[in-house]
Amino acid sequence: MPAAPQRFRAIVDVHVLLLRGTSDVLLARRAGTGYGDGLWHLPSGHLEEGESVTDAVIREAAEEVGVTIDPADLTFTHVMHRVPDRVGLFFATRTWTGEPYNAEPHKCSELAWWPMDDLPPDTIGYPAAAIANTLDRIPFALDGWSTNP
């Protein structure tokens, strides 16, 4: 009997929109990672084996910006399927414990609050698109996939 083909496995990214005031979102300028260095991005990371997506969001927020989030305070806002093997899940919260700070200076050069509808032009494209989709209440998007049938 032939072996069953391997199932496709996507890499799952989690992202958190820490929201302040009427429309500000916290962004981090990446540094020293080899991906998007010098550009703005949301606090984010990869889902680890055996971890729920909400646990991953909470872990990443604590690791990157030093805040504690109660899972009950997270709201799912968007999912993005990125070419070729990434699925990004985006969550938002207006409630956390602690003041955000740069908890990973070896991966981030600065933090700043930006209006969600006026992000800096040097924001990485896919989180900028996810933030815009969150504002427009669009729950799903493709990134990098051909729109031709």
- Residue-wise pLDDT for 32-67, tens only, equals 999 999 999 999 999 999 999 999 999 999 999 999
Confidence of residue 149 (pLDDT cuts 50, 70, 90): very low
Which is it for strands 24-30 and 11-20: parallel, antiparallel or unpaired?
antiparallel
Q: Give the rounded percent of residues in the chain with a pLDDT score beyond 90.
A: 92
Give the pLDDT score at 2. Answer: 78
Confidence of residue 146 (pLDDT cuts 50, 70, 90): confident
Nearest residue to 90 via CA among 10, 14, 12, 11? 14
Query: Does the pLDDT value for residue 90 go beyond 70?
Result: yes
Q: How many CA atoms lie within 13 A of 141 on its CB side?
A: 21
Round the average pLDDT of the chain to a whole number and report it.
Answer: 95
Contacts 24+ apart (CB under 8 A), 145-149: 145/81, 145/83
State the burial class of residue 41 (Cβ atoms within 10 Å of its Cβ: 0-12, 13-18, 19+). Answer: buried
- Averaged pLDDT, 3-14: 90
Model confidence, pTM? 0.93
Q: Could you give the domains of the chain?
A: 11-143 (3.90.79.10)
**CA gap 125, 136 in Å, rounded:** 16
State the burial class of residue 6 (Cβ atoms within 10 Å of its Cβ: 0-12, 13-18, 19+). Answer: exposed
**CA gap 86, 103 in Å, rounded:** 25
- Averaged pLDDT, 125-144: 97
**CA gap 126, 54 in Å, rounded:** 20
Query: Does the pLDDT value for residue 93 go beyond 50?
Result: yes
Give the pLDDT score at 80. Answer: 98
Residue 64: phi, psi to the nearest 5?
-90, -40
Helices then strands, counting H and E runs in the chain, come out as: 2, 8
